[in-house]
Amino acid sequence: MTKAPFVAMAAATAALGTALGSLALQLRADGYEQYVESVATFSVLMYVTAALVVVTWVRDGRPHAN
């Protein structure tokens, strides 16, 4: 498989995680504490997803044994 789908997916999910982390900080600053935990959890989930995509990319690049 080519690198492009893995790189694009990892970059997009990491960018989404960053945006959600920023949103969580802004929500906290604006006083919307009831939403901060949910948004922060989803932000961490996006970073974990990006890491798993990278792991899949690395594993896909290794030679396959028959």
Query: Is the residue at 12 inside a domain?
Result: yes
Query: Is the residue at 65 inside a domain?
Result: no
Query: Is the residue at 19 inside a domain?
Result: yes
Query: Is the residue at 66 inside a domain?
Result: no
- Residues 6+ positions from 23 with CB-CB distance below 8 Å: 39, 43
Query: Is the residue at 28 inside a domain?
Result: yes
Domain that holds residue 49: 3-60
Number of structural domains found in the chain: 1
At 16, list the tokens: 């989404």
What pTM, to 2 d.p., does this model score? 0.84
pLDDT tens digits, 7-64: 999 999 999 999 999 999 999 999 999 999 999 999 999 999 999 999 998 888 777 6
- Residues 6+ positions from 19 with CB-CB distance below 8 Å: none
Looking up tokens 């492009």 gives 4
